[in-house]
Amino acid sequence: MLQFSKIEPKAYVGDLLVYLSRQPGKGAPRCASEAVADVVRQVHALGDFSGKEGEHLLFYPGKERHGLPSAKRIMVVGLGKDELNRELFRKAGGAIASLAMKSKVRELLLVLPDLACDRAEMVEGLSEGLVLGAYRFKKYKTQKDPEVSGEMLQQAALYAADNKGLGKALKLAEIAAQSACQARDMANEPASHWTPRDFSEYGRQVAATHGMRCTVLDQARLKKLGLGGILAVNQGSARPPTMVVLEYAGKPEAPTLLLVGKGLTFDSGGISLKPSLGMEEMKYDMCGGAAVLCAMQAVAQAKLKGLNLVAIVPATENLPGPAALKPGDVISQYGGKTVEVINTDAEGRLILADALAYGIKKYKPDMVIDVATLTGAVIIGLGHHRTGLLSNNDDLCGRLLAAGNRSGEPLWRLPLDQEYTKQLKSEIADLKNVGKKDGGAITAASFLKEFVGDTPWAHLDIAGTAWDFTEKSYIPKGPSGIAVRTLFDFIRNWKGEGLSL
Ligand code: BES
Ligand code: ZN
Ligand code: ZN
């Protein structure tokens, strides 16, 4: 969808030509084209446009062009006067995409402004914003979406007189953003159309396309290996569970990172049934699994070399049924720990515990990150802006926090003292799966902690951010694709051979 254009803005005859303008201390915003700047000055004098962030000016040059460029539409988008960083450009890119889609714009040319900032950051931010902001899920619409009156935005080109060295920034941004859109697609699918089997089929397909190894563990294999958590959660479902494993080789001497994603394709709560109001949202309970698979896909596509990767997605539905798991049942997780299941709605930790213990035993990773829509409690604590981060390693946290900030997907670390684990003591088994309500995001992570041993590990609770994420121009309603770009950025910026313990 993205490329650099060789066409001079003045000669461009396409649907939409876009300029970006800072808000000056005084006077009218400036613009690279003198003729467009003239229009801006007029409109500024009327008090209708000052270059504020989020402001835009769209006009139609008409037949008498008065020296204006040849495009059908011309738009000037405000960048405000705050610090120029990737998020600001991302938001501008998102605003341009959604404005373009409100008109009948199929392709556009965006002129890069001459500003004192890191040009690669500018290109990355704008590119990500354009791709993420142009995303819509229309598969099940038989009629045109009234919100998008025109066609979908198909092509966006960037123009810079000198774009030397910027091609890589554009390519990486496009890969990251398209992978996040892929994760959004998976999440938007209803549970009837995105099943555990779809996870393994997708895994096989990306592995074949990008030269990764894919192993799918079916129900019989999960039984044989003793992954009792996944099997227990699956008991009420008519669809078999699956666990998909993807392996990507960076370079032999690099550390290995294990990624684990919660692939609950529908969470009804099971016998501890959820209230029906809003239950349809529980089709999104697979966003962690989607994030992990799509991040792998992005890394493989970009051929990043810094880390070796293993990704595991345990996938099942959680439904009540005649054979369903019941409150009070005792199950045996991979590795032998027993768990008294107090609440069948706390199922994510049961499937993740198996996947974490299995992945660590089999692949001996140097570090582990899991991503899961794990608790309603994290939404109470952090709302819909920051993802919860819980970890046993400060270095890993530092790198993830930085990756989240660079990606516009901020995280917030919550504590994980041993004291919290007390709530999980069971009278009859090694652990129980829930504590009291208080500190629910922390007790959930404390449960997982029992299965990772000393391996450096971080847990991302994305329950508040996987959908209904902070409103931004480049995040349309629905699933956000959260964590795909953060993981991609984390891997891309991996520096140093190891992690400090
Ligand atoms: N999938 C839910 C968590 C969730 C809730 C995600 C709301 C997104 C929005 C998870 O499986 C769950 O049901 N957790 C319970 C745990 C409780 C029973 C200890 C919860 O948070 O209510
Ligand atoms: Zn649940
Ligand atoms: Zn769940």
The closest alpha carbon to 20, from 45, 62, 71, 56, belongs to 56
DSSP-H helix ranges across 263-347: 287-302
Phi-psi sector, 218: left (phi>0), alpha (psi -120 to 50), beta:
beta
In the 8-state DSSP scheme, what is residue 134? T
CA 54 to ligand 1 centroid distance, Å = 35
Distances (CA, A) of 35 to 38, 61, 309: 5, 10, 52
Which ligand number lies closest to the CA of residue 316? 3
Measured from the Cβ of residue 459, the count of other Cβ atoms closer than 10 Å reads: 29
Strand ranges for 120-262 from DSSP E? 155-159, 213-217, 242-248, 256-261
Characterize the bridge pairing of strands 308-318 and 242-248. antiparallel
Structure tokens, 455: 């391996």
Structure tokens, 469: 């994420």
Distances (CA, A) of 410 to 94, 169, 358: 18, 21, 29
Supply the pLDDT for residue 150.
52
Q: Is the CB of 350 under 6 A from ligand 1?
A: no
CA 267 to ligand 3 centroid distance, Å = 5
Q: Is the CB of 348 under 6 A from ligand 1?
A: yes
Q: Is the CB of 434 under 6 A from ligand 1?
A: yes
Distance CA 127, CA 174 (A): 6
Distance CA 249, CA 9 (A): 43
pTM exceeds cut of 0.75: yes
In tens, the pLDDT along 271-309 reads 999 999 999 999 999 999 999 999 999 999 999 999 999
Which among 374, 431, 462, 482 is the best mutation to test ligand 1's pocket, defined by most ligand atoms within 8 Å of the CB? 374
Burial-class residue 23 by CB neighbours within 10 Å (0-12, 13-18, 19+).
Answer: middle
CA 289 to ligand 3 centroid distance, Å = 12
Q: Is the CB of 463 under 6 A from ligand 1?
A: yes
Are the CB atoms for 333 and 354 separated by under 8 Å? yes
Which ligand number lies closest to the CA of residue 264? 3
CA 234 to ligand 3 centroid distance, Å = 12
Measured from the Cβ of residue 26, the count of other Cβ atoms closer than 10 Å reads: 4
Structure tokens, 286: 């697979």
* Ligand 1: residue whose CA is nearest its atom 7: 376
- Phi and psi torsions of 127, nearest 5°: -65, -45
- Phi and psi torsions of 308, nearest 5°: -90, 145
Distance CA 236, CA 264 (A): 13
Structure tokens, 376: 């309603």
Measured from the Cβ of residue 240, the count of other Cβ atoms closer than 10 Å reads: 16
Supply the pLDDT for residue 148.
56
pLDDT beneath 50: ranges in the chain? none
Q: Ligand 1 atom closest to Cα of 262?
A: 1
Q: Which residues form the catalytic set?
A: 274, 349
Distance CA 204, CA 194 (A): 15
Amino acid at 159: Y
CA 318 to ligand 2 centroid distance, Å = 8
Give the bridge partners for 216, in sequence order.
244
Supply the pLDDT for residue 496.
76
The closest alpha carbon to 92, from 466, 365, 495, 473, belongs to 473
Q: Is the CB of 317 under 6 A from ligand 1?
A: no
The closest alpha carbon to 338, from 416, 424, 272, 273, belongs to 424
Distance CA 435, CA 424 (A): 5
Q: Is the CB of 376 under 6 A from ligand 1?
A: yes
Distance CA 317, CA 291 (A): 18
Q: Is the CB of 435 under 6 A from ligand 1?
A: no
* Ligand 1: residue whose CA is nearest its atom 22: 376
The closest alpha carbon to 473, from 189, 128, 108, belongs to 128
CA dihedral in degrees (155, 161, 163, 169; nearest 10)?
A: -50
Distance CA 383, CA 101 (A): 30
Which among 273, 284, 344, 345 is the best mutation to test ligand 1's pocket, defined by most ligand atoms within 8 Å of the CB? 345
CA 312 to ligand 3 centroid distance, Å = 17
